Amino acid sequence: MSKTKTNPGNYFEDFSVGQDIAHATPRTVTAGDIALYTALYGTRFAVNSSAEFAKSLGFEGMPLDDLLAFHVVFGKTVPDISLNAVANLGYAEGRFGVPLYAGDTVVTTSKVIGLKENSNGKTGVVHVRSTGTNQRGEMVVDYVRWVMVNKRDASAPAPEAVVPTLAKAVDASALRLPVGLEIDGYDTAQAGSPHLWDDYAVGEKIDHVDGFTIEEAEHMMATRLYQNTAKVHFNQYEQASGRFGKRLIYGGHIISLARSLSFNGLANAFKIVAINAGSHCNPTFAGNTIHAWTEVLDTMEFSERADLGALRLRTVATKDRPCADFPYKDSEGKYLPEVVLDFDYTVLMPRRQG
């Protein structure tokens, strides 16, 4: 009897440390992707909204939002890495490389760098490093994520546990600055805020004030945009008998909503250069309203660039709870039930000159 021609996805016991995975299919991004991303999240960062603004900074044209590039790369990995996932658990060591433009084609590969079966014997955690490259082989984004994956057979023997040691943050020396980046003509009025790198201090917290309510159709459209085939986001028939009885929102959808909300207070954070860490703390569902707040974790200077600095930020997103009191963890260090995202990332921002 011939084997099935359909793809059931990999289960925990199908992975091995050192395994290389070439993901199907290449994806050429278009202006349509940019427009739909804007429609879904309302992102307002000038460099991703205006070709002329982007060119004034030395970009070839209007680059894709960094998170759109991340989602396209992430989506390619799902059929091979997380089709049978219980949950995506975290991110680390993420770096953005060359900007991605409409017309570029993205290819994604992954390497398995860690495996550890859970104590219940039914699931295990898989660590992978995934890399997206453009048609010239240039790195677009490279990151580590770990995901809890179901076992096909609970009686299958556990592999030797390998848990990689990951950096808590991407070092400033490893950040990739866009080639030809020019800040002299940066227009804060067009960007939407007078506040530059010099105006932010470590420990400062910003309530981004606004809120977005998630509609069922929006999150499903977004996930399809990235060709993310994870069952937990699409198949209500199957999820009706699952833990929550309904579809989960793709965690990246919350990251993009939080980033969009952060414009109100961080409008000049024009480019993400690193993802240091990230946790999807609690599930989100259609109908939830997302708010966000941000804490400045670190300020970084570049010895060769007096016109440019970096901010390491923690953006926390909540569901159905405004963030005026900066909700985060309880007295025991556990995330509050309304907290759905804890995202640690690094951005570029112009410095005040003269």
pLDDT of 191 over the 80 cut: yes
Q: What is the mean pLDDT of residues 141-151?
A: 96
Confidence at residue 267, expressed as pLDDT on a 0 to 100 scale: 98
Distance (Å, rounded) from C-alpha 141 to C-alpha 138? 9
Percentages (nearest 5) of helix, strand, coil residues in the chain: 25, 30, 45
pLDDT band at 28 (very low <50, low <70, confident <90, very high): very high
Confidence at residue 298, expressed as pLDDT on a 0 to 100 scale: 98
pLDDT of 48 over the 90 cut: yes
**Mean pLDDT, the chain, as a whole number?**
95
pLDDT of 131 over the 70 cut: yes
DSSP states of 119-150? TTSSEEEEEEEEEEE-TTS-EEEEEEEEEEEE
pLDDT band at 354 (very low <50, low <70, confident <90, very high): low
DSSP helix/strand/coil, 69:
helix
1 within some domain: no
Q: What is the mean pLDDT of residues 310-324?
A: 98
Confidence at residue 194, expressed as pLDDT on a 0 to 100 scale: 97
CATH of residue 107: 3.10.129.10
62 within some domain: yes
4 within some domain: no
Neighbouring-strand partners of residue 80: none
pLDDT band at 234 (very low <50, low <70, confident <90, very high): confident
Q: Residue 47's domain spans which residues?
A: 15-350
ω into 25 cis (within 30 of 0): yes
Tokens of 19: 């395994």
pTM: predicted TM-score of the whole model, two decimal places: 0.95
332 within some domain: yes
301 within some domain: yes
Q: What is the mean pLDDT of residues 282-288?
A: 96
97 within some domain: yes
6 within some domain: no
248 within some domain: yes
Q: Which residues of 32-67 are buried (b: 16+ CB within 10 A; e: fewer)?
A: ebbebbbebbebebbbbbeeebbebbebeebbbbbb
Distance (Å, rounded) from C-alpha 221 to C-alpha 39? 11
For 280-354, where are the E strands, in sequence order? Answer: 289-302, 305-319, 339-350
pLDDT of 87 over the 90 cut: no
Domain count, the chain: 1
Residues 129 and 143: beta-carbon distance below 8 Å: yes
Question: Which of residues 9 and 348 earns the better pLDDT score?
Answer: 348
Percent of the chain with pLDDT over 70: 99
